[in-house]
Each structure stands twice: as structure tokens, then as C-alpha cells.
């Protein structure tokens, strides 16, 4: 089979595992009385991202080939996610936080590092085939987003988005991928002293960049913007589903198929990637990141103002805006780090960028968002909580707006189009 087709299948399955539960788990937690714990479930992804990718990266560098470690990790993650589903199935409505969270956390701890491992496998395979990674990898990676969308749709259509079935779906896809990973091209381990140390793998060498005012401000705002990354993954589905308590909205498409509606965000994400080169060349990193920050304001504000009935267009616009909010920040930020750092610490700097955004930022964001939601929304009340949910979304929008204004005033960077 053509190597690019094999890598397309790999990326499709890699992200289909994640899409099976990432945007719908919040609704299940609400249904079993764990709504006040949504934040810690999503924050766990950020917490393990601080150290597990580095640890497994070192193992892949030195001892176990990346494709085999990818398989082993998915086996463990799938088994633990299967236990999460089994516990949910056997407990019914009497789900306790401790066991459910433990099984889930173990699964996430072994899944999150596979995001980097799958990239390593792809890069190695393309290099072996004599193919340019910069040219050939992005079209392959897009199929990861397609896989994410397809599993979201499958979970929705099969009626699993509000129950434990989503964890079984995730586990099943994970097991398929674990077997498939064993068929991927072999990745060599390091034989000499070229493998990374833990300090290098964690990106700690790049902390010297904080001596530069420009880079210190950039990384600080990366963390502040990273706060927004997981909020809608955790709380969008429960919010949209909450309209079901109002007869006027109970039978609308958005309430019945919240996952499909949310999947428009991933469609937008795929398309907005294509806009980044133009915007970076035309406006520079400061204004591209500012656009992303303002897009987050619209993302949250439109969620608060919309509804699944006559106001569904606001939900749809919020999904479209997400592509700009997510991609313009994540991808352009990574490119900025690559351009502004020395070659010898470039990899460490990228690691630091991930730690500040998907690690610290996302973890603080989901825990903070949970506190905001708990302040406004009474999950124990039988009365509709839509107005209370809206207050939470407007709070998130206000936060994003404050970050955007301060960033515009503090971050100084002169863009030179001729060097872009």
C-alpha cells in the first residue's frame, strides 16, 4: 500500500479515537451528576501533557521504536477507556467520581503522548520514502481532523453522546489503531548520545528565552490565550443540550444532534489553515494573534447570545469563527517560535510553547471555566438554566476581550512583509 495512504489511515484513526468523546463527555457527566467535575476531567489532558509526551518521547528515542510504542500506548489507553465505559455501564446513575476519573485519567495519560508519537512515525516514514515532509504531511494531517469529525458524527447518530457508550466507541477505535500501528514502517532508536535528555524533551532549555522581553511577553500571552482552548470542548455540548428543558427548543436539530452542530468547528478549523500563510505575510504575528483573540471573544459571545431555534445562526457563526480562533493562534504561534529562536533550542522552544498553551493554559482554563460555570449554573435545579449558562459564556468572552486589549498594548513587534 502507498505510504501516504497508510499515513492517512493512521491520522484518521489517531484523531477518531479523540473525537469519540472529547466534545460529548461533558453531557454524560451532567447526566450522571458529575457536572461540577467537568473541568478536572478536561484539565487532566493538559496536566498529563506537561510530562507524559516527554517521557514517552525519550523511551521512543532510546529503547522502543516509535511505531511499537504507539501501539502499546493505544492498547493501554483503549483498555482503560473500556474500563471507564464498563464502570459507567454497571453503575447506572450511581457513578462515583473516583473510579470513573481514575480509569479515564489513565487512558488520557497514555493517549495524549501518541499525538506526538504519530507525528514522529509520519515524519520518519516520509523521510524514508524520500518525500518532503513540509509538502506532503499537511494534506495527510487533514485526514486526522476528518477522522475526528467522523467519530463525532458516529457517536451522535448512534445515540451515544449522552451516555457511557462513547467510551466504548473510543476504546474500540483505539484497539483497531493499536493493531494497525504494528504494521507501520519501523522507526529507528538512537544508538549513540544524540537522544534527548528529560530537560531537553520538556523544553526546559528554552526557558532562557524569558530573558528576552519580546519572547517573555509572547509566552505569557500564549498561556493566557491557551486558557480558552478547551472551554468549548468541555461545556458546549452540555450548554446546547440544556435547551432541551425548554419545550420550544426540545426537538430542534441542535439539541438532538449537538455533536454534529459542534463538528462545524472542526470543519472550519480545516479550512482556516489555508488562510494562515496569507495573513501572516500581510499582517504579521501580532495582528494575527490579535485576530485570534478577538475571534475567541466572538466564539464565546455568540454562544451566549444564540439558541438552537431562531438564533441557531449565532451558534453556526460561532463554529465558523472557531477555525480562526484556534488555528490563527496555534499554528501561527508555532511558526513565530520557529522563526524567532536559535536552531539549537528551537525544538525546546516548541516544547515550551506547547507547555504554556496546551499544558498550563488549557489546565488553568478548564478549571477556571468550571468555577465560573459552577458560580452561575445550578445543576441541581429542575428549572431551565439557559440564562445562567449565558452569563458564563459572556464571562468567558469578557476574559478574552481583556486579554486581547492588554496584548495589543503590551506586545511590541514590527512586522516586515519582505522577510515573511
Q: Does pLDDT of 193 surpass 60?
A: no
Q: How far apart are CA 60 and CA 71, in angstroms?
A: 12
**Model pLDDT, residue 61:** 74
Q: Which three cell numbers stand for residue 145?
A: 481532523
Contacts of residue 119, defined as CB under 8 A and 6 or more positions apart, other chains included, come to none
Can you give the pLDDT at residue 191? 57
Mean pLDDT of 67-90: 96
Do residues 181 and 12 lie in contact, with contact meaning Cβ atoms separated by under 8 Å? no
113: pLDDT confidence band, cut at 50, 70 and 90?
confident
Stretch 328-332: mean pLDDT:
80
Three-class secondary structure assignment of the chain:
CCHHHHHHHHHHHHHHHHHCCCCCHHHHHHHCCCHHHHHHHHHHHHHHHCCHHHHHHHHHHHCCCHHHHHHHHHHHHHHHHHHHHHHHHHHCCCCCHHHHHHHHHHHHHHHHHHHHHHHHHHHHHHHHCCCCHHHHHHHHHHHHHHHHHHHHHHHHHCCCCCCCHHHHHHHHHHHHHHHHHCCCCCCCCCCCCCCCCHHHHCCHHHHHHHHCHHHHHHHHHHHHHHCCCCHHHHHHHHHHHHHHHCCCCCCCHHHHCHHHHHCHHHHHHHHHHHHHHHHHHHHCHHHHHHHHHHHHHHHHHHHHHCCCCCCHHHHHHHHHHHHHHHHHHHHHHHHHHHHHCCHHHHHHHHHHHHHHHHHHHHHHHHHHHHHHHHHHCCCCCCCCCHHHHHHHHHHHHHHHHHHHHHHHHHCCCCCCHHHC
Measured at the alpha carbon of residue 149, what is the angle toward residues 70 and 273, in degrees to the nearest 5?
A: 85
How many residues does the structure list for the chain?
Answer: 420
Nearest to 305 by CA among 392, 233, 400: 392
For residue 403, what is its C-alpha cell? Answer: 486579554
Residue with cell 504561534: 333
Per-residue confidence (pLDDT) for residue 10, from 0 to 100: 95
* % of the chain surpassing 90 pLDDT: 55
> Can you tell me the mean pLDDT for 339-366?
79
Residues 6+ apart with CB under 8 A from 236: 23, 26, 258, 262, 303
Q: Could you tell me the CA-to-CA distances from 250 to 246, 260, 305 in Å, in that order?
A: 6, 16, 18
CA distances in angstroms from 27 to 24, 35, 36, 381, listed in the order given? 6, 8, 12, 16
Residues of the chain with CATH 1.20.1250.20: 1-184, 200-420
pLDDT of residue 210: 82
Measuring CA to CA, which residue among 156, 29, 169 is closest to residue 93? 29
Over 80: is that where the pLDDT of 107 sits? Answer: yes
**419 against 373, higher pLDDT:** 373
Q: In CATH, which superfamily holds the domain spanning 1-184?
A: MFS general substrate transporter like domains (1.20.1250.20)
Indicate the pLDDT class of residue 380, thresholds 50, 70 and 90: confident
For the segment 258-311, what is each residue's pLDDT rounded down to a tens digit?
999 999 998 998 888 778 778 888 888 888 889 999 999 999 999 999 999 999
Among the listed residues 195, 181, 170, the one whose alpha carbon sits nearest the alpha carbon of residue 86 = 170
Q: Are 7 and 139 in contact (CB under 8 A)?
A: no
Contact 71/185 with Cβ under 8 angstroms? no
Which of 73, 312, 303 lies closest to 182, judged by CA?
A: 73
Rounded average pLDDT over 102-122: 91
Give mean pLDDT, residues 230-253.
Answer: 92
The b-or-e profile of 304-320 (16+ CB within 10 A means b, else e) is bbbbbeeebebbbbbbb
- Domain 200-420, CATH: 1.20.1250.20
**pLDDT confidence of residue 86:** 97
Instruction: Kindly report the average pLDDT of the chain as a whole number.
Output: 88
**Inter-axis angle of helices 362-376 and 386-410, to 10 degrees?**
140
Task: List, for residues 302-320, the tens digit of each pLDDT value.
Answer: 999 999 999 999 999 999 9
In the prediction, which pLDDT does 195 show? Answer: 55
The pLDDT, as a whole number, for residue 352 is 78
Amino acid at each position: 500500500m502507498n505510504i501516504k495512504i497508510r499515513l492517512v489511515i493512521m491520522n484518521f484513526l489517531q484523531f477518531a479515537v479523540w473525537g469519540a468523546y472529547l466534545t460529548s463527555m461533558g453531557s454524560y457527566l451532567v447526566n450522571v451528576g458529575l457536572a461540577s467535575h467537568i473541568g478536572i476531567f478536561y484539565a487532566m489532558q493538559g496536566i498529563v501533557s506537561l510530562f507524559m509526551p516527554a517521557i514517552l518521547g525519550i523511551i521512543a528515542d532510546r529503547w522502543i521504536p516509535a511505531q511499537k510504542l504507539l501501539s502499546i500506548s493505544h492498547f493501554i489507553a483503549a483498555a482503560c477507556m473500556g474500563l471507564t465505559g464498563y464502570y459507567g455501564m454497571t453503575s447506572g446513575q450511581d457513578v462515583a467520581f473516583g473510579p470513573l476519573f481514575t480509569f479515564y485519567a489513565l487512558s488520557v495519560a497514555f493517549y495524549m503522548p501518541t499525538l506526538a508519537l504519530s507525528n514522529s512515525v509520519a515524519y520518519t516514514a516520509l523521510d524514508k520514502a524520500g518525500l518532503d515532509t513540509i509538502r506532503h504531511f499537511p494534506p495527510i494531517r487533514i485526514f486526522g481532523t476528518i477522522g475526528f469529525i467522523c467519530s463525532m458524527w458516529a457517536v451522535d447518530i448512534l445515540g451515544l453522546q449522552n451516555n457511557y457508550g462513547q467510551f466504548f466507541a473510543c476504546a474500540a477505535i483505539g484497539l483497531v489503531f493499536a493493531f494497525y500501528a504494528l504494521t507501520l514502517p519501523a522507526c529507528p532508536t538512537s544508538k549513540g548520545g544524540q537522544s534527548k535528555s528529560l530537560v531537553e524533551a520538556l523544553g526546559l532549555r528554552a526557558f532562557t528565552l524569558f530573558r528576552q522581553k519580546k519572547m517573555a511577553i509572547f509566552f505569557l500571552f500564549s498561556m493566557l490565550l491557551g486558557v480558552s482552548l478547551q472551554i468549548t470542548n468541555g461545556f458546549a455540548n452540555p450548554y446546547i443540550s440544556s435547551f432541551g428543558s425548554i419545550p420550544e427548543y426540545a426537538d430542534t436539530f441542535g439539541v438532538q444532534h449537538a455533536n454534529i452542530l459542534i463538528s462545524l468547528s472542526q470543519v472550519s478549523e480545516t479550512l482556516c489553515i489555508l488562510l494562515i500563510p496569507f495573513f501572516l505575510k500581510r499582517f504579521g504575528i501580532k495582528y494575527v494573534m490579535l485576530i485570534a483573540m478577538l475571534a475567541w471573544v466572538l466564539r464565546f459571545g455568540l454562544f451566549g447570545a444564540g439558541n438552537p431555534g431562531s438564533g441557531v445562526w449565532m451558534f453556526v457563526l460561532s463554529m465558523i469563527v472557531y477555525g480562526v480562533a484556534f488555528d490563527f493562534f496555534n499554528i501561527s504561534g508555532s511558526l513565530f517560535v520557529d522563526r524567532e529562536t536559535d536552531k539549537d533550542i528551537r525544538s525546546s522552544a516548541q516544547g515550551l510553547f506547547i507547555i504554556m498553551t496546551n499544558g498550563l493554559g488549557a489546565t488553568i482554563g478548564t478549571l477556571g471555566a468550571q468555577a465560573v460555570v459552577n458560580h452561575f449554573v445550578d445543576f441541581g435545579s429542575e428549572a431551565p438554566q439557559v440564562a445562567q449558562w449565558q452569563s458564563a459564556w459572556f464571562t468567558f468572552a469578557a476574559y478574552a476581550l481583556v486579554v486581547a486589549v492588554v496584548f495589543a498594548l503590551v506586545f511590541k513587534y514590527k512586522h516586515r512583509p519582505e522577510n515573511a
